[in-house]
Structure 1
Amino acid sequence: MTSRLAALGLITAALLTSVGAAPASASTPTTLTTRQVCAQSLYVRATAAGVIIGTLYYGDNFAVDHYSPSRQWVYGHAYGNVHQDGWVQNGWFC
């Protein structure tokens, strides 16, 4: 019985870790919002202000997942020719 309780505790801890036990903050939208890029070009980065992994162009779409605490950076999925998740500078959407 003790080993079953220990296993249940490990499973519970793993589930809480995988789904994020921390409460959602105001910087996390409740649904994904797809925004259109209005800049001539917009770099997609691996981390906020980090290494450039691609470039979005005017009219490309970006699915917003969440914002940085300062709201200067936006994390999500870059479409266009990038097709991967990353960070973009906020303020360049239509």
Structure 2
Amino acid sequence: MNARRVARGTAFAAALLVAGAGLTAVPANAAGGTVGVRETVCAQDLELRVKPQGARMGTLHKPQTFLVKEIHGEWVFGFAYGDINHDGWVQDGWFC
């Protein structure tokens, strides 16, 4: 087996591992939140959490809305409208 074939096989295997890990690509039209704005969820499912990376409280679905109150790095705190109607944290970058 030549080195190119091995490299291509390794890259393909790595891509399969990433896909199998359940990682979702950010939609092309997704954007970060803005404080004071009621943003529309662009992701199919966006988990609302009690704290950044904390326990899950519920799921926002596209096109439900989220009022951004604070931004802390890659996490956003605010009010989730729709089925949840509660304050919580979501990962930033999943708004339209």
TM-score (norm 2): 0.63
Report the Cα distance in structure 1 between the residues aligned to 2:84 and 2:58, rounded to whole angstroms.
Answer: 6
Give the fraction of aligned pairs with identical amino acids, expressed as a percent: 44
2:46 to 42, 46, 49: 42
Note the C-alpha offset of 1:46.
Answer: 0.3
Which aligned segments of 4 or more residues in structure 1 are displaced greater than 4 angstroms?
none
Question: Matched residues in 1 for 2:62 and 2:37: separation?
Answer: 17
Separation of aligned partners in 2, 1:67 and 1:82: 20
Aligned residues: 63
Q: How does 1:22-61 map to 2 (within 5 A)?
A: 29=35, 32-61=36-65
Tell whether 2:68 aligns with 1:81.
no
Query: Counterpart of 1:63?
Result: 67
What is the TM-score with the length of structure 1 in the denominator? 0.64
How well do the aligned residues superpose, as a CA RMSD in angstroms?
1.3
Deviation at 1:78, TM superposition (A): 0.3
Query: Cα offset for 1:84?
Result: 0.2
Runs of 5+ unmatched residues, structure 2:
1-33
Q: CA deviation at 1:80?
A: 1.1
